[in-house]
Amino acid sequence: MPLIPAKALPHFENMIYLPLLVIVLERDRVGIEKGPFKLKGPYLTMIDTVLSQVHEELQETKIFLKRNNMKVLQKSRDNMFTEYIFLNGGYEDHRRYLNVRLRNRTEELLHLYFMKGLNHPRTNDRH
């Protein structure tokens, strides 16, 4: 039996990437609120819609991990790598992620969430 079942790996990685998305979205929201945008509403609505989706998925991930006695811990971070520990039923799996890969994957996910957000009913309301 592998330390981390293949079906659980996306949930472990969600616990890495979804919190990063929340940080990026919250910072961008503040930047738009304080920035020189003439019409802030559409940007804020889009960010809020995506943020809501990310929070919902993060909550589902936390529930899955808790039900399956799994955890993700950040062990260390330097200029090149961030190391995480995936805990599964008493086993530890140490994984190192290149920081540039974390950033690039977070950007990919952000793009995907925004594309989903464009198709969300709340953002398609034309008043």
Tokens of 94: 């140490």
CA angle (61 as vertex; 122, 41 as ends), nearest 5 = 25
pLDDT of residue 65: 95
Strand (E) or helix (H) holding 87: strand 81-88
pTM score, whole prediction = 0.87
pLDDT of residue 123: 45
pLDDT of residue 90: 85
Report the first-to-last Cα separation within the chain, whole angstroms: 55
Tokens of 85: 């520990």
- Residues near 27 by beta carbon (within 8 Å), at least 6 away in sequence: none
pLDDT along the chain (127 residues), means of 10: 80 97 97 94 94 97 95 96 94 95 97 84 48
- Is residue 62 classed as helix, strand or coil in its secondary structure? helix
80-89: long-range contacts, CB 8 A cutoff, minimum separation 24: 84/12, 84/16, 86/3, 86/4, 86/12, 88/3, 88/4, 88/5, 88/8
pLDDT of residue 122: 52
pLDDT of residue 127: 38
CB atoms within 10 A of CB 26: 12
